[in-house]
Structure 1
Amino acid sequence: MTDPARLRRVLARHDPEVYPGTYVTCVFNPDKVLCRPRSAPGGRAGPVPHDCQPLECRNVALTADDTTALAAEADRIDHRLRARPVLPPLLNAGLARRGDAIHAFLTANRAAQ
Structure 2
Amino acid sequence: MRNLFSIAILSLLATACSAPPQEEFSYENMMQQIQSEADNLNEKIHADVAEDAEEQYYIARRGSDYVQICVQAGMVAAAYLNAKNEFKYREWKDRERLNCKTSERIIMQQMGGM
Give the TM-score normalised by structure 1. Answer: 0.35
Tell me which protein shows more helix as a share of its residues: 2
**Max radius of gyration: which structure?**
2
Greater relative contact order structure (CA < 8 Å, 6+ sep): 1
TM-score by length of 2: 0.35
Q: Greater strand share, 1 or 2?
A: 1
